[in-house]
Amino acid sequence: MHDPENEATTNTSHALDDAQRTASGDMPPTELRAALHAAADTVADYLEGVEDYAVLPPLKPGELAARLGGPPPEEPEPLARIMRDVSAEVVPNVTHWQSPHNFAYFTSNASGIGIVGELISSGLNANAFIWRVSPAGTELEGITVDWLRQGLGLPDAFDGVFNDTASISTLSGLACARQQATGDAAQTGLGEAAPLRVYISGQAHSSVERAAMILGIGRDGVRKVDVDDQLAMRPDALRAAIAEDRAAGWRPAGIVATVGTTSTTAIDPVDTIADVAEEERLWLHVDAAYAGPTALIPQMRRYFRGWERADSIVVNPHKWMFTPFDCSLLLTRRMETLRDALSLVPEYLRTYDGKNAGRDYSEYVPQLGRKARGIKMWMQLRYFGLSGLRARLQQHVDLAHELAGWIEADPDAEVLFPVPFATVCFRMRPRRYAGREGEPVVAEALDALNEAAMNRLNDSGRVFLSHTRVKDMFVLRLAVGNIRTERRHVEQAWQAIRAATRELDGGTT
């Protein structure tokens, strides 16, 4: 294995001494080259051995701060000392999102080529807010947005932009809903007219309510529509809610449908919801932040039927397309509404020389300064090709289905919800609990058992799981989505869950 401290120490012969470095401004190229080599080796070594780390570091709050804190450094420190602390203190003490044993939440993990693209983008420091200040960053964004649109099977009418997270993409979509419903809220505000209403299912992501808070719609302006047995939004309940709200003096503005909800990856019937949106003239935003990448696989597009009728869609490449955080794709059929909702061009950003013929992305996003995310996406899409991404996504879907089969075959466990993508929701249910679900004490005991098993596994560092609570049940979630996860990792996780449950339940399972 590479020793970053020795490498950095060797290369300090090329570096200026502390006094010269302080006086010279930035790190000299020779020292930068040494630092980049040391950092590259640190990252490569980390990824090579990442599965050997405890996924959750055995660290207490404040412990790392006590070791690395203290007064700010007044004088320059040698690169070797800095890299030593990176290797000894920083690398082991992150939660290892890159680990193949990380199955919690929706795994955000970065491919090697994505890391290289992020480095190039950071080195260029391209701030892609108007075309003139970042021609390459701007135009690569346009290219890659369209490549992804085509790969996802969406029609030419869609265009889009990269944001940092789905929260900002959803905020932008609801800003469009507000703009459409009010005429020009971007200019006049909400005024004293009837309050706006946005409709979601009870399983929708919390970012919708947060966006409503920021946009002046308010959390009271978000109505949660009833769901069916599969936790999908009921279109009949949606129609009834809209009619009821109009009669009560609300202004319905938009609907957020989800394909792949956070808790259970439930799928709202987007095609039927689109009928309602068109009839009621409401903005339809589709949250496919997690599941959207699987639309690259033609056979999976049945789950997305109707999303081509949406006004806006969010898909997160940094969730399940192996792109370094952050990168969220907002697609819309109505770029002009997005621009109307978010554009503000001060005099100092205007150009009059005729050279600014490209798109200024700052007119389509909430913030001004923004990363040139198109650079890493362009490199990554070329490196993998759509076929490479499809193959990896399909492998994850297959692994999740295989895990669901193992759970269903085990008399002491049960799959609780369908597995359309690569997240399995289940619980351990030892046989001695059979036939007693109706007794509250048994339900509480099952919840306690599953929570204790999850905590034991997470504390061990062998695997990282997350949970949800649905239908008054404590539900374990295992999300396959890491580019480094293989069948053996999923099998090890399953065996570890079974063993932890058996130990906690007194070995009776």
**Interval 472-491: pLDDT, tens:** 999 999 999 999 999 999 99
The tokens for 229 are 């047995």
Q: What's the rounded mean pLDDT across residues 436-452?
A: 77
Q: What's the rounded mean pLDDT across residues 391-420?
A: 97
91, pLDDT greater than 70 = yes
pLDDT at 6: 53
* Cβ–Cβ under 8 Å, residues 98 and 484: yes
Confidence of residue 349 (pLDDT cuts 50, 70, 90): confident
* Cβ–Cβ under 8 Å, residues 479 and 107: yes
Confidence of residue 506 (pLDDT cuts 50, 70, 90): confident
Q: Looking at 26-40, 322-336, 351-365, 433-447, which range is the least confident one?
A: 433-447
Q: How many CB atoms lie within 10 A of CB 44?
A: 14
436, pLDDT greater than 60 = no
12, pLDDT greater than 80 = no
In Å, how far are 101, 454, 457 from 460, measured between CA atoms? 12, 10, 5
pLDDT at 357: 66
Q: From start to end of 362-465, where are the E strands? A: 413-415, 423-428
- pLDDT tens digits along 127-178: 999 888 899 999 999 999 999 999 999 999 999 999 999 999 999 999 999 9
Close Cβ partners of 353 (under 8 Å, ≥ 6 residues apart): none
**Residue 319 dihedral angles phi and psi, to the nearest 5°:** -90, -50
The tokens for 228 are 């069916």
Q: How many CB atoms lie within 10 A of CB 236?
A: 12
Cis, bond preceding 326 (omega within 30 deg of 0) = yes
* Domain chopping of the chain, boundaries: 4-96, 127-371, 385-504
* Cβ–Cβ under 8 Å, residues 253 and 259: no
pLDDT at 112: 94
Residue 178 is given by DSSP the state H
pTM as predicted: 0.91
Close Cβ partners of 501 (under 8 Å, ≥ 6 residues apart): 412, 428, 430, 449, 450, 453, 509
pLDDT at 155: 98
The residue among 502, 441, 376, 346 whose CA lies nearest residue 113 is: 376
4-96 topology per CATH: dopa decarboxylase, N-terminal domain (1.20.1340)
* Cβ–Cβ under 8 Å, residues 431 and 412: yes
The residue among 104, 174, 180, 25 whose CA lies nearest residue 424 is: 104
Quote the mean pLDDT of the chain: 91
Pairing mode of beta strands 222-225, 196-201: parallel
**Residue 466 dihedral angles phi and psi, to the nearest 5°:** -125, 180
* Cβ–Cβ under 8 Å, residues 329 and 315: yes
Burial zone of 460 (CB within 10 Å; 0-12 exposed, 13-18 middle, 19+ buried): middle
15, pLDDT greater than 60 = no
Q: What's the rounded mean pLDDT across residues 345-362?
A: 78
Q: What's the rounded mean pLDDT across residues 102-122?
A: 93
Q: What's the rounded mean pLDDT across residues 187-213?
A: 94
Rounded Cα distance, 377 and 380, in Å: 5
Where is pLDDT greater, at 274 or 134? Answer: 274
Side by side, the strands of the sheet bearing 466-470 are 413-415, 423-428, 473-479, 466-470
17, pLDDT greater than 80 = no
pLDDT at 197: 97
The residue among 219, 168, 209, 198 whose CA lies nearest residue 370 is: 168
Q: Tokens 């919800």: give the residue.
A: 417
% the chain with pLDDT above 70: 92
Give the amino acid at 337: T
Rounded Cα distance, 44 and 63, in Å: 27
Rounded Cα distance, 104 and 79, in Å: 35
Type and span of the H or E element at 312 = strand 312-315
127-371 topology per CATH: Aspartate Aminotransferase; domain 2 (3.40.640)
Q: What's the rounded mean pLDDT across residues 190-216?
A: 94
**What is the C-alpha end-to-end distance of the chain, expressed in Å?**
43
105, pLDDT greater than 50 = yes
432, pLDDT greater than 80 = no
Q: Where are the alpha helices (DSSP H) in 12-107?
A: 18-24, 29-48, 63-68, 79-85
385-504 is a CATH 3.30.750.24 domain: no
Confidence of residue 123 (pLDDT cuts 50, 70, 90): very high
pLDDT at 11: 45
